[in-house]
Structure 1
Amino acid sequence: MKKIFFLLFLLPSILLAQTANDLFTTANNLYKEGKYKEAIKVYQKIEKKDQVSSDVYYNLGNCYYKLNEVAATIYNYEKALSINPLHKDATNNLVFAKRLTLDRIEELPKSILQKFNENYLQKLTYNQWAIVVVVLSFLASILFLLFYFSEIPTKKRFYFISSILSFIMLFSSLLITINQYNLSTSKRHAIVFSKKIDVKNAPTLNGNDVFTIHEGTKIMVLDEVDNWKKVKLADGKIGWLIADEIKEL
């Protein structure tokens, strides 16, 4: 009776997963047949079920790329990389997609620490770093117990040094996890979906135009007032635009 109850409890999750997998297969087949718009609709059904993965967004990006929709292409590749920063295909395709944009924005110079963080630490999400912390905590605890109960001097010395190194790595990983989480929650990025936007110096239609950006450009959202959002470009320029013209990642 307990087994039947357990199976009934898991049944909705199993059916939901199977449905998502079936939809993913259907969408992939539509893509192979060149039916990109139909494939997009099916991928979006998976998204509505909250069963998305980096591959779903990656495939959505591929569909939009085939349809020459620059903003949607870049948006979905960026979404894929936000879930899995190590997705090589999404990384490579994003480079090609960005070449379709009109804006050529030079990034501000970065410090050595910022480059190290971007090139190495951000290759894992804060959730993945949290897993590293859990694994290291178990490892450090086991090594400490082995050190405590070991009676052979050479082994005791080895376990002591290993446990100390594990605790140092654990503490470092914890700091990295907290930092990555803070960066992820504090920085809001978006993709421009309008063909052309005249960015204002104030959140009003009467504000002066300070610069112009085009479809597909990635921006950082700093603040919002009513239907206006304050944004910043990679080169440091700041201005206001209407919220409906962009889509946050």
Structure 2
Amino acid sequence: MKDEFEEISRMLSIFENPLRRKILHRLVSDACYPLQLSKELRVSQQAIMKHLDVLERCGIVRSRSEKSENAGPPRKSYYPIRRVSMVLDFGPHLYDVRVYVDDRLPLPDRTEDNVGKEERNDYSDLRDVHLKRISQRANPERFRKVIRSIMEMNQEIERLDAWRLSMVRQKEALLREAYTLAKDLTSSILEMKVLSLAIERGLADVNDYVITMIADELDIREKEVEEILMKYKELLIQDDKENKEQDKNENEQGEKVKISNAQRKEKNKR
């Protein structure tokens, strides 16, 4: 649990800085040299290098050495290598922070020594792969299709965001009711705190991980947490029969949504 909190704090500290966000915004369109960024963002090169160093140490960007023009010393260019999504939900009865780091496509180092082998068969950075593909099929019609796909994707993401916001509101209403009920059921402030965390996490079982997580967050002994959770276990955790019934209902609802979406698409085609 501490590792999760540390990762959240680390990512928030990276993206909270306005200049770092500007640097990353610029890098997503193309790799850049520090001097380029300094001129475009009107910030000293020293400040740019400081932030690039932070981003590189955190594994958000990577640098590669490239030959400079006029036989000058090699230059470093920087490019992003990780996908990160952060979600913060906060309300009168809601607090949830999540960070998703997508490392499914790790990029190896790309230096002058390993670039160029066999058209350099090993495309060390995804940008090269992208450029190669574009060069093979670059044409106005393809460009129009790509733009149209992006617009459709944006619309779908907006629809999902609206749906998610609706679900978050419903969750907060349920949490508010759960906290009120827990307050009436518990016999001490400590029990109330432990139950509140258990409710937030949606516990499926009382195990060592759960006990340690709550104990660390409340800075209390694990034994105390275990005793409280065991005392209220029947209230916190559904049995297998209830879980199976809930899964069945969710699956049925999911099938209805799929059928509804298919019908809507068919109607739109007509």
Length-normalised TM-score, structure 1:
0.24
Question: Larger Cα Rg: Structure 1 or Structure 2?
Answer: 2
Higher RCO structure, 1 or 2 (CA under 8 Å, sep 6+): 1
